[in-house]
Amino acid sequence: MASVVQPNADHVTYPLRVVVEATGLSEHVLRAWERRHSIVQPQRTPGGSRRYRAREIDRLRLAKSAVEVGHRIGDLAQLSDQELRAFVQRPMSAPVGAVERVVGALGRFDGNEAEREIGVQLSALGGVSFCRSFVGPLLERIGEEWASQRLCVASEHIGSALVRSALGGILRANRSGTSGPTVLFTTLAPETHELGALMAAIVAGAAGITPHFLGSDLPVGEIVGAASGAAARAVAVSVVSNGDSATARNVRALRRRLPRSTHLWVGGRGAPSLVLPRGAEVVSTLEDLESRSRLLLLQR
């Protein structure tokens, strides 16, 4: 991609008008990308007008190209320019084929092939995009195939075990280097679906939180004890099964027993159908969780 402005000249800066022209991004989109995602951080004149360096203009053009091939700006903002370039060459449709290949391999009980494909996607996408763009759709497909009896329970179990292992690896690899506030991730008894909580822990960890993953199916008292012992600023529970009255009861008990200053975040596909007590918040998506995590960092 040829640059329209002088490369490597940080002392030369350009006004917004030039950036709009050079990138093809509207002023509105530019401001949104900066405000919400900090994709670049332009300098300001004493009068408050934005001034962009050449490398920032190039970065914006790269980000625009990546968005045009289907990536989400929220997934791109923290990437280096080199990583952005790799994303431009990797259209988002790739994981669709990959999901089908994994499901096919599971149907043949070919765990090696499924594991190989999962590994390819992890190294291509990186931890956070792997969770969002690949694991989410994969579990959805496995669930559909299982519900319509095209995939048996044994195949589903192979898939769950492989995903569990990949997600655990990401969490372990990211463990060092986090110093942000502690958030616990778990599921309340009798919820045994643990993968959503694990994905949430990874995404929050990447946003600067120190995630503690407690596994699944925990009684309220255990979570309260862990929150106190770990001085957690928030507890995030994943609710996947729909309409389980015990889970709803346990969310209420958990809110009652946690200190008021400890946030209680409830996510997962079953969360919107719960009647939540005051002080418990539905955090619907992994993107919402990123925003909550950043807010928590600011409140330190």
Question: Where along the sequence are the contacts to ligand B12 (CB under 6 A)?
Answer: 136, 139-140, 142-144, 147, 160, 164, 190-197, 199-200, 236, 238, 240-242, 265, 267-269, 283, 285-286, 289
Of 53 and 263, CB closest to ligand B12: 263
CA distance 198 to 143: 18
CA distance 244 to 234: 23
Of 130 and 265, CB closest to ligand B12: 265
Of 31 and 164, CB closest to ligand B12: 164
Of 42 and 159, CB closest to ligand B12: 159
Least distance CB 161 / ligand B12 (angstroms): 8
Tokens matching residue 206: 């990447």
Q: Find how far residue 190's CA is from the centre of its chain.
A: 25
Least distance CB 149 / ligand B12 (angstroms): 11
Of 143 and 219, CB closest to ligand B12: 143
Least distance CB 54 / ligand B12 (angstroms): 38
Least distance CB 199 / ligand B12 (angstroms): 5
CA distance 228 to 222: 10
Least distance CB 211 / ligand B12 (angstroms): 10
Least distance CB 299 / ligand B12 (angstroms): 18
Q: Which positions ≥6 away from 237 have C-beta within 8 Å?
A: 185, 186, 187, 188, 197, 223, 251, 254, 264, 265, 266, 267, 268
